[in-house]
Amino acid sequence: MKIAIDVQNSGETPDNAPERGFLVALARDVKLAARSKGEVIQALAFFIVVASLFPLAIGPESALLKRIAPGVVWVAALLSVLLTLPRLFANDYADGTLEQLALSVYPLPVIVLGKIVAHWLMAGLPLALLSPLLGLQFGLESRELVVLFASLMLGTPVLSMIGAIGAALTLGVRGGSILLALLVLPLYIPVLIFGAGAVEQAMVALDFSANLSLLGAILLLGGLVVPFAAAAAVKISLD
Amino acid sequence: MSLYKYASPAAFYPLAGKLIPWFAGLATIFGIIGVYLGPFAAPTDYQQGEVYRILFIHVPAASIGMFIYVVMAIYGVLALTFNTRLSAMMMEALAPTGAIFTGLALWTGSMWGKPTWGTYWVWDARVTSTLILLFLYIGYMALVNAIEDKKRADKAGALLVIVGSVNIPIIHYSVTWWNTLHQGASVTVTAAPKMASVMLTPMLSIGIACWLYAIAISLVRVRAIILEREHGRNAAWVTAEFATTKGVAAS
Amino acid sequence: MNWAEFFSMGGRGFYVWGSYGAFAIAIIVEIILLRARVKHAQAEAMAEMLAEKSKGGAR
C-alpha cells in the first residue's frame, strides 16, 4: 500500500488509500439506497406505526403515555433499525459484490465502516430526525424532545454497528432475520437503557448528561472496535 | 509438546473418555454429601426459615452459568487465533450446560424470591443480567445450529461469544445503573445474608459437585460432537477407536 | 424430625422442593438427551465403519 501511495501524484488522495475505500463504500450504498427510496420510507412508517400501537393498546391517558414515551420511542427505533439490518450486506452477498469488496485494495474494516455509516444515514438518522414529532404525540416538552433527539443521534449509530456484526454473521443462513434479532437485541440493551434513560432523566428534571456521555463513549468505543469485528464476521461468512 | 497433542480431536477423544468417569464419580460423591448436608442436616436459618436451602443450589447454578460463558469466550479466542477445531467443539459442548445452569439460576432464584421478597420475579440488576446471559446462550446455540457449514459455524459462534463477552460488563453496568434509577418503583433487594459455616459447607460441596458435573457432561458432549463431525471426514481414527473399545476388529 | 415435617419445610416445601426438583429434572433430562445423542453418533460411526470394511472386502 505504501508503494502505491508513493506512485500517486501529490495533492490528490491516492486511489487505494484507506479513506477512499470508506468513501467508495459509503457513496455506493447511499446511491443504491437512493434508488430504492421506498425502503427508507417503509422503515420510517414502521417506526411510527409501532409507536402508535402503544396508545391504542394502553389507552389515551396522557400522563401514562408521557411516562412511557421514552421507552416506546426507543423500542420502536430499535425494531425499525433491526428490520433494515439485512440489507446492510445481504444484497451484496447474494450477487457476489461483497466478495469483490473483500478482495479489493481497500482494507475490509474501512469498507465495512463505510457501509455502516451509509446504513445509519438511511436507517438511523431519519428516525432521529422524526423522533421529536413522535415525542410531541406522547406529550413530551421541548427540552425532553431535544434530549430524545440527541439520544437517538448518539445511539442509533451504535445500533447500526452492533447490527452489522449480527447481519454479517447471519448472511445466507436459513431463517436469518429471526436469528439476527435473537443475536442482536440482547446486545442492544445498554444503548436502550442509556438512550431511554437520558430522556427519563430530563423528564424528572435531573441531569441527563451522564447518559448522553455514556452513549457517546459507547459510540466512540464501538467506532474503534466494531469495524474490525464486523469485517472478521464478513470474512467468516465468505469463506 | 505433549499438551499440544491434545488439541487434535483424535487425541483428545480417548483422553476425555478416560477423564469422564473420574469427574462423574467425584461429582456424584460431592453431590450426595451436599444434598445430605443441605436439605437434610443444615439447621433452619432463624431469619429465612427453610427457604434459604434453595441458595445451596441457586448460588452454584448462577456462578457456573456465568463462568461457562467466560470459558466459552476463552475457547472462542483460541478458536479464532489458532484455528483449532477442538476449541470450537468445546464451545459447542459447553453452551447447553451453561444455558441449563443459567436457566436453573433464574428458576431457583424466583422460587427463593417468592417467599423472601413476596414475588417470583423482580427486575433487579442481577436477575436481569442473568436473563440477558440466558439470551446470549440461546443466541449462540441458535447461530451455530443454523449454519450448515460447520467450519463457518465454529468461527461465527466464536466471534459472537467474544463480542458477547466484551458486552457483558457494559450490559451489567447499564442494568445496574438502570436499576438504581428505577429503584423507587421496585422491591428493595438486599444481598443474601451472611451464612454460618454449617451452611457454607453444603453450598461448597454442592458447588463442587456442579462444577465436576459440568466438566463431565461437557466432555461427554464434546466426544459426541467429535464423533458426529469426524466420522464422515476422517474415519481412520474413529475406526481404530471403535475396534479397540467394542471388539469389532475381531469380526 | 419426621418425614412429613421434613417435606413440608416449614410450610415452604413448594419452593424448596420446586427448586431441588427442577434442578434434578434438568440434570436428568440433560443426561438422557445426551445419552441418546452419543448412542446415535456411535451408531452412525459404526455403520460407516462397517460400510467401509465391506467396501474394502469387495475390492
- ipTM reported for the complex, 2 dp: 0.86
Name residues whose C-beta falls within 8 Å of residue C19's C-beta, 6 or more positions apart in sequence. Answer: B54, B57, B58, B107, B108, B111, B112
Residue C20 has its nearest CB partner, among B57, B217, B239, at B57
Domain ranges of chain B: 12-176+191-250
How confident is the model at residue A176, as a pLDDT? 83
Whole-angstrom distance, CA of residue A23 vs CA of residue B56: 58
Query: For B145-152, what is the mean pLDDT?
Result: 91
Q: Quick: pLDDT tens for A146-183.
A: 999 999 999 999 999 999 999 999 998 888 889 999 99
Q: Judge whether C31 lies within some domain.
A: yes
Residue B203 sits at the vertex; the CA angle it makes with B202 and B207, to the nearest 5 degrees, is 115
Determine what percent of chain B is predicted with pLDDT higher than 90. 43
Q: Judge whether C54 lies within some domain.
A: yes
Residues of B in contact with A176 (CB under 8 A): 146
Residue C10 has its nearest CB partner, among B44, B97, B104, at B44
Whole-angstrom distance, CA of residue A78 vs CA of residue A203: 21
Q: Judge whether C39 lies within some domain.
A: yes
| Interface touch B146/A179, C-beta < 8 Å | yes
| Interface touch C49/B239, C-beta < 8 Å | yes
More confident residue, A20 or A224: A224
Please report, in angstroms and rounded to a whole number, the separation of the first and last CA atoms in chain C: 74
Name residues whose C-beta falls within 8 Å of residue C15's C-beta, 6 or more positions apart in sequence. Answer: B51, B54, B111, B112, B114, B115, C9
pLDDT tens string, chain C, 59 residues long: the values are 577 777 777 777 788 888 999 999 999 999 999 999 999 988 888 887 777 777 665 44
* Chain C 9-48, residues with CB within 8 Å of chain B CB atoms: 9-10, 12, 15-16, 18-20, 22-23, 26-27, 30-31, 34, 37-38, 41-42, 44-46, 48
How many domains does one find in chain A? 1
Q: Judge whether A4 lies within some domain.
A: no
Distances (CA, A) of A225 to A109, B15, B91, B246: 10, 38, 23, 51
Residue A207's CB is within 10 A of a number of other CB atoms, namely 10
Whole-angstrom distance, CA of residue A163 vs CA of residue A158: 8
pLDDT at B40 over 80: no
Residues of C in contact with B54 (CB under 8 A): 15-16, 19-20
| Interface touch C41/B246, C-beta < 8 Å | no
Q: Judge whether C2 lies within some domain.
A: no
Whole-angstrom distance, CA of residue B224 vs CA of residue B206: 27
Query: For A190-212, what is the mean pLDDT?
Result: 89
Q: Quick: pLDDT tens for B178-195.
A: 877 765 444 444 545 556
Q: Where in chain B does DSSP place strands (E)? A: none
Residue B54 has its nearest CB partner, among C19, C27, C49, at C19
Lowest mean pLDDT among A73-77, A127-131, B88-92, B243-247: B243-247
Domain that holds residue C38: 26-59
Q: Which contacts of B213-217 are long-range, i.e. CB under 8 A and separated by 24 or more positions?
A: B213/B23, B213/B24, B213/B27, B213/B31, B213/C27, B214/B64, B214/B68, B214/B94, B214/B97, B214/B101, B215/B23, B216/B20, B216/B23, B216/B24, B216/B27, B217/B97, B217/C30, B217/C31, B217/C34
Domain that holds residue A50: 13-238
pTM of the full structure: 0.88
